[in-house]
Amino acid sequence: MTVETSQPAAQSGTFSIGGDLPVNRLGYGAMQITGEGIWGEPRDRAEAARVLRRAVELGVTFIDTADSYGPFVSEQIIREALHPYADDVVIATKGGLTRSGPGDWRPVGRPEYLRQQAELSLRHLGLERIDLYQLHRIDPKVPLEESLGELGLLQQEGKIRHIGLSEVSVAQIEQARKVVDVVSVQNLYNLANRQSEEVLDYAEREGLGFIPWFPIATGQLAAPGGPLDAASKEHGATPAQLALAWLLRRSPVMLPIPGTSRVAHLEENLAAGALELTDEEYETLTKAAG
């Protein structure tokens, strides 16, 4: 049953990143407010700014971006739209992927590069300290201890509050935690793709935030007659909303960040924060996609 609320994202529950950064669990991923191929300017920059402002109005307090989105375009639009930031808004960004053109992503984890990118992100976002800075990818050419060691230095200098990882295994998380305190993990995960189940279970045991990217992929589950199709009719909700509701139900450390470049689509996504699945619906969807 859908609960009417003016701030549906606030209905999704809260999680405290690093134990001291409370956020509403249903957030916003700012990758899509750039041009095609996550490159250059968006088609409608004013609409991108409206999306961000509307997200905060609807209760979003966790916004995730990266220096490589644009590059820097996403961070710059976030600043234009939301700076000075509300006290409860947490901006997370990432560094460690370079861009040479649309759709091209290459890991670079050299310490001097990560420091440069963190400093640029501070400038582009208009921050003195980044609340959550994530290593976007581990660079196989650079020892992880060197990449994270530099982020640890930035943390000591007060430029980073917390450190997170992206697209990692449990073994890599454990290796990283020997170098710095890791508070979050961002891996591909959704109802139709649960290859990071072991990482999610580890994050839950250890109290790490788990940020699933590509959270509303539903595969064939939304096909006519499929389990999402049936539940959609029951709730008067979209398959995407149900996929987000399933994620929120799946684990208390789950922080879904659905992204979009349109206000109408944003409002549709965030309505999932006020949607509750019955035990039977949750089990049906879990088994169907298992």
Report, as residue numbers or ranges, the catalytic residues.
69
Q: Name the 3-class secondary structure at 146.
A: helix
Structure tokens at 132: 């959550």
What sign results for the dihedral spanned by CA atoms 165, 25, 83, 157?
A: negative
Q: Any residues with CB less than 8 A from the CB of 29 and at least 6 apart, and which?
A: 63, 64, 65, 213, 257, 258, 259
Q: Any residues with CB less than 8 A from the CB of 50 and at least 6 apart, and which?
A: 81, 263
Structure tokens at 166: 């992206």
Alpha helices in 180-278 (DSSP H): 197-206, 227-235, 239-250, 263-270
Cα–Cα distance, 151 to 135 (Å, whole number): 9
Between β-strands 106-107 and 97-98, what pairing exists: parallel, antiparallel or unpaired?
Answer: antiparallel
Q: Any residues with CB less than 8 A from the CB of 202 and at least 6 apart, and which?
A: 170, 173, 208
Q: Any residues with CB less than 8 A from the CB of 62 and at least 6 apart, and which?
A: 17, 23, 24, 25, 27, 28, 89, 90, 92, 255, 257
Strands (E), 96-181: 97-98, 106-107, 130-135, 160-166
